[in-house]
Amino acid sequence: MNGGENMWHLSKSALNEIKKEFNPFWQNVISSCASLCEPLTTAPSDILSQPLFLNENIMIDGKTAFYKRWIQNNVFFINDLIKENGEFYNYDEFIRNYNIKTTFLEFYGLILALPKEWKNIIHSQVFLKLNTVSHKIVTAIKTVDKVSKHLYKIFLDKIKETPSRIQEKWKIKLGIDIVAEEWNYFFSLPLLITEDPTLRAFQYRLLHRILGTNILLMKCKYSETELCTFCTETKETYIHLFFECRYVRTFWLNFFQKLEDVCNVSFLPTLSSIILGVNYHLFKDILNTCILILKRYVYLCRVRFTVPSVAEAIEWLNYYYRVDMVSMNLCSTNKAKRIKEKWSNINNIIKK
């Protein structure tokens, strides 16, 4: 297809249609670009930046238009049909200006096909013609220094939900009400209980619901099933994977039983305490530390296709204990004291 960078201005459905003509790599790139298309607003600049071709809003006899000669002569957007004074070109002016061979019917057929409300918006403005059409991605590619970093951020912003939306979703999924201060606590918890960036990132991804499970991976075609890796019986939701699955539930119960037997720390795991953390408990610091480390351990078991075991979980706790002991040398005295006190609560399962 001709049109060079103009291709990236096409609508979501047009991009998904034309990608079939490309190799798998470009199909992937075009799909990603299509996923970033935003709903059209009634802003004049948005309307003038609309492509004339393969645009499902501009239909002639039930079909979208595609005039190769126009594209070759740099007519691609509604903006290209507008004169400097904001009015539409007439037929003669149009062919003279662009030196295009096109019929009277083709020209007026396309102008007639523009949605009435778009034409009203265009007519209601004075001196409206744009110097350049606007498009978030194309503008970024042309103007930003680190393009891939910038595009990555746009993608992240797209999939990242606002905290309030995530909170609402979690409230429904967990079936509990959580007040704002509690949310602040749960969101800051990973920063309070560990210095380890992988643990912090893990909980961040879980809280923002962007951690890969079979449901998400199947949507991206990275998994052939959306069922739980451990039991293969139920959809692998976060709640199932980290709490409700019979293998995982047994693991938590056995682990906390062991903690009570060996360390005299008594705790009955609940769905919200496993997903979000423990808010009220005498030993909440060490409990939150254990839950975060072991929740990531459960996730690693999922990746390795092995069922979580208490013996291996204790090995993981010991590993993070040793990391904390080393990092204590870099902490303030008060912080080092807190870390030491925290781990001392489960002294009996720590190998020194």
- The residues of the shown chain that bind Zn ion, judged by CB under 5 A, are 228, 230-231, 245
Here the tokens at position 189 are: 């918890």
Give the residue with the Cβ less far from Zn ion, 228 or 317: 228
CB of 217 to Zn ion, least distance (A): 15
CB of 234 to Zn ion, least distance (A): 5
Q: Residues near 125 by Cβ (< 8 Å), separated by ≥ 6?
A: 44, 86
CB of 190 to Zn ion, least distance (A): 25
Give the amino acid at 154.
Answer: I
CB of 227 to Zn ion, least distance (A): 8
The span from the CA of 244 to the CA of 236, in Å, is 10
CB of 306 to Zn ion, least distance (A): 14
Give the residue with the Cβ less far from Zn ion, 298 or 317: 298
Give the residue with the Cβ less far from Zn ion, 118 or 255: 255
Measured CA distances, 301 to 50, 117, 333 (Å)? 49, 56, 36
The span from the CA of 95 to the CA of 66, in Å, is 17
Give the residue with the Cβ less far from Zn ion, 79 or 214: 214
Give the residue with the Cβ less far from Zn ion, 30 or 228: 228
CB of 224 to Zn ion, least distance (A): 16
Q: Which long-range contacts (CB under 8 A, 24 or more apart) does 251-255 make?
A: 251/298, 251/307, 251/308, 251/309, 251/310, 251/313, 252/294, 254/310, 255/290, 255/294, 255/310, 255/313
The span from the CA of 127 to the CA of 43, in Å, is 15
DSSP string, 221-274: TS-S--B-TTTSSSB--HHIIIIISHHHHHHHHHHHHHHHHHH-------HHHH
* Cβ count within 10 A of residue 130: 15
The span from the CA of 99 to the CA of 69, in Å, is 10
The span from the CA of 337 to the CA of 331, in Å, is 9
CB of 248 to Zn ion, least distance (A): 7
Give the residue with the Cβ less far from Zn ion, 207 or 228: 228
CB 266 within 8 A of CB 284: no
CB of 293 to Zn ion, least distance (A): 21
Give the residue with the Cβ less far from Zn ion, 6 or 229: 229
- What three-state secondary structure class fits 88? strand
Give the residue with the Cβ less far from Zn ion, 54 or 245: 245
* Angle subtended at Cα 301 by Cα 298 and Cα 302, rounded to the nearest 5 degrees: 90
CB of 301 to Zn ion, least distance (A): 12
Phi, psi of 51 (to 5 degrees): -70, 150
Give the residue with the Cβ less far from Zn ion, 70 or 297: 297
